[in-house]
Chains A and B, each alone.
Chain A
Amino acid sequence: MSAKTQPDPKPILSARDIVNRFGKQEVHDKISLDVLRGEVLGIAGGSGSGKSVLLRTLTGLHRPTSGRVLVGGKPIDTIGPSEKASLMGLLFQQGALFSSLSVAQNVMLPMREHTDLPPEEQERLAALKLELAGLSADTGVKFPAQLSGGMVKRAALARALALDPRILFLDEPTSDLDPLTAGGIDALIAQLNRSLGITVVIVTHDLTTLFTVCSRLAVLVDKKITVGTLDKLMRSDQPWIHEFLHGPRAQGAQTARKHSHGNG
């Protein structure tokens, strides 16, 4: 749900006491985080604050030094690959589309692997996913190298949606995009959350995304995490968070937020 509707307060994913340490360097110190069903959670933080490591931990790609990640009440490392694939989708920052496959083949790959649908049906569904991600069916025959930055993100999003995952993780969905294209991606995320009821976790430092799409924010500062609604965090007196949400760049994003809410 977008910022306007109340998400279901039951957590779909919860991380408990996550500690991540690389050699002597500690990145996370006993972080706990709940992702509520149907919400859009934005994870922000400065460069090097461990956003990506947290995302990799939440998706089970990285095993934390200590702590647990539960998805739907189950520890993430006990979830089988097939179940995990229909439980969570991940949009990588660079798309991570397989360069030897066409866009449509990229989207159909998880379906081919995890369902026994006939090829025609898979193609129909691939067309649906591309449409959901805002790409025309003609894009399906293209190869990743032929796509622009924004189209790569959309194609990768279509692939992440292939099995209709319950949680969608987005790693910097608007990075390297011009503001108009980024705005399109923001609108798309909100739309998918509203229409498909999909839970979304966005790692980003794009303030406009955080202000306009996210219903709650988690900010990583000094190995700790602060979670709350935007309004609550706006009143935070933690210096970094204050500077982050009130700095000159944040002003513009605030305007965008009012604008999008006004059009609501």
Chain B
Amino acid sequence: MPRTASAPAAPTIAISGEGDRLTLEGVLDIHTLQEAQKVLKQALKEHRTRSVNLGKLSDLDTPGALFLCGLRDKGVEFTGVRAAHQTLLEFVCGLELKPLRKPKPVPRWRQLVIHLGKGADAAWHDTVDVITFIGRAASALSLGLRHPRSLRLPSISRHIGETGINALPIIGLMAVMISIVIGYQGVAQLRPYGGEDFTINLVAVSMLREMGVLITAIMIAGRSGSAFTAEIGAMKARDEIDALNVMGMDPMELLVVPRVIGLIVTLPLLTFFSDVMGLLGGALISEALLDVSPLQYVERVRQAVSGSDLFVGLFKAPIFGFLIAVIGCMHGLRVGGSADSVGRETTRAVVKAIFVVIILDALFSIFFEKLGL
């Protein structure tokens, strides 16, 4: 065989000989190739070498053989070639090698235009997709509600458990922390005007109207929306969705509707929980910074907030829940064949869900303001 298994750590090549006769000794492989090329090219220039002895070459690989083929084409003869090396040389020299094709470089300005166009096209298709899917999900949902028997109760309850009950600790902690942040800022900003007592109003109203539902929705988009995409996406990547279709089951009804109902139920409940925890955080901060006792705090909150504040917050929750679930499921069903598309779609789902939630929250703020609620 041409080569030995126990190669020395650093293979070497030596070139000896005078004038137009050279001898290669050692190993001519990918690691010694450059050295051999340098020396041999030099020798060819100076002496117009016509013959190289390969008898002492212990090792030859395909890059080495390719190089030798190049020399042979220039009229160099090889002598004393071992049988195994001869086979390799014949084989490699017999190949018709074409240079690698390189993709044509696209000019910068055109790249920019192409990028912009593609982005706009993708955004347009995305919008159409989201609207279409919201429609399909809504129709599947209403069908399910009209025929409650087709609803998969075990599946719905599992999703309520996973997206709701398991999220309680993190949602509670977030709500307390956010109300502490708002409380601190309120006290700091209102104190110069002697209005630090209004911090309680600030915390209570902003938690109930906006912050409670917003942080819950963002948390659930990151936690459950992404999980929906990953679950359904993994099924899609393994052809399980197609399997459902072939067996006459509707993935919309089986996978999407239970998740959507699950989030429509859990998000208001979680929002209420987060409101309560936020008010609790407000009580802590009032006690610590304003010396307002918990009893006084409850009294102050009662004066500050009205039923409509609570209603405004809770009203938005199921809508956000619906959208988060729909966007999560939609991106799950969009997963293509490759494994990395699950990750890509999950990222997109979370970004899009949070984006939609915040945009919608801003629109709701204006809407309720005009309504005078």
- Residues of A that sit less than 8 Å from B by CB: 8, 12, 37-38, 71-74, 83, 86-87, 99, 104, 111, 115-118, 121, 123-129, 131-132, 136-138, 140-141, 145, 161, 163-164, 166, 194-197
Among the stretches B58-66, B107-115, B210-218, the one at the interface with A is B58-66
Complex CA distance for A197 and B9, rounded to whole angstroms = 21
Instruction: Knowing A117-B33, A131-B95, A132-B95, say if A166 contacts B101 (CB, 8 Å).
Output: no
Complex: how many Å from CA A136 to CA B97?
Answer: 9
The complex places the Cα of A118 from the Cα of B38 at a distance, in Å, of 13
Report the count of interface residues on B (CB-CB < 8 A). 33
Return A120 CB to nearest CB of chain B, in Å.
Answer: 9
Residues of B within 8 A of A163 (CB): 30
B69 closest partner in A (C-beta): A128
Chain B interfacial positions (CB closer than 8 Å to A) = 1-7, 9, 29-31, 33-34, 61-63, 66, 84, 87-88, 91-92, 95-103, 338, 340
16 contacts between A and B (CB under 8 A): A71-B5, A73-B6, A74-B6, A86-B29, A87-B5, A115-B30, A116-B34, A117-B30, A124-B97, A126-B100, A136-B98, A138-B98, A145-B338, A164-B61, A195-B87, A196-B61
The minimal Cβ–Cβ distance linking B146 to chain A, given in whole angstroms, is: 43
Q: Which 6 A-B pairs have the closest CB atoms?
A: A72-B5, A195-B91, A164-B61, A72-B6, A137-B98, A140-B100
For the complex, what is the distance from the CA of A99 to the CA of B337, rounded to whole Å? Answer: 13
Do B100 and A164 touch (CB < 8 A)? no
Contact of B2 among A74, A140, A197 (CB under 8 A): A197
Knowing A126-B100, A127-B98, A128-B63, say if A197 contacts B3 (CB, 8 Å).
yes
- CB-nearest residue of chain B to A110: B30
Q: Are the C-beta atoms of B101 and A137 separated by less than 8 Å?
A: yes
Q: In the bound complex, what is the Cα–Cα distance between A166 and B97 (angstroms)?
A: 23
Q: Which residues of B contact A164 (CB under 8 A)?
A: 29-30, 61-63
- Most B CB contacts (10 A, CB to CB) among A73, A111, A195 go to A195
**Chain B CB within 10 Å — which of A37, A99, A121, A145 has the most?**
A121
Interface pair B1/A38, CB less than 8 Å apart: yes
Asked if residues B3 and A141 are in contact (CB atoms below 8 Å), the reply is no
B213 to chain A, nearest CB (A): 40
Beta-carbon contact of B29 and A196 below 8 Å = no
Contact yes or no, B99 A166, CB < 8 A: no
Residues of chain A contacted by B91 (CB below 8 angstroms): 195-196
CB distance from B244 to the nearest CB of A (A): 24
**Contact indicator B33/A37 (Cβ below 8 Å):** no
Name the A residues within 8 Å of B5 (CB-CB): 12, 37, 71-73, 87, 166
- The closest CB in chain A to the CB of B34 belongs to A117
Is the beta-carbon distance between B6 and A131 smaller than 8 angstroms? Answer: no
Contact of A104 among B3, B62, B84, B100 (CB under 8 A): B100
- List of A residues within 8 angstroms of B34 by Cβ: 116-118, 121
A125 vs B84: C-alpha distance when bound (angstroms): 21
Residues B100 and A197 in contact, CB atoms below 8 Å apart: no
Q: Which of A74, A123, A137 has the most CB of B within 10 A?
A: A137
By a CB distance below 8 angstroms, the chain B residues around A72 are 4-7
| Residues of chain B contacted by A166 (CB below 8 angstroms) | 3, 5
Asked if residues A125 and B101 are in contact (CB atoms below 8 Å), the reply is no
> How far apart sit A22 and B91, CA to CA, in the bound complex (Å)?
45
Q: A8–B103 Cα gap in the complex (Å)?
A: 45
Q: Which B residues are CB-close (under 8 A) to A129?
A: 62
In the bound complex, how far is the Cα of B98 from the Cα of A141, in angstroms?
13
What chain B residues lie within 8 Å of A38 (beta carbons)?
1
Q: Write the nearest CB–CB distance from A110 to chain B, whole angstroms.
A: 10
Chain B residue, CB-CB nearest to A126: B100
Interchain CB contact under 8 A, A137 and B30: no
Contact present for B88 and A195 (CB under 8 Å) = yes
Q: Decide: B84 and A197 in contact? CB cutoff 8 A.
A: yes
Distance from B205 Cβ to chain A, minimum over Cβ atoms (Å): 50
Given contacts A117-B34, A124-B99, A197-B1, 13 further A-B contacts (CB under 8 A): A8-B1, A72-B4, A86-B30, A115-B30, A124-B97, A125-B30, A126-B100, A127-B98, A140-B100, A145-B338, A164-B30, A197-B84, A197-B87
Closest to B63 in A: A125
- How distant is the Cα of A145 from the Cα of B341 in the complex, in angstroms? 12
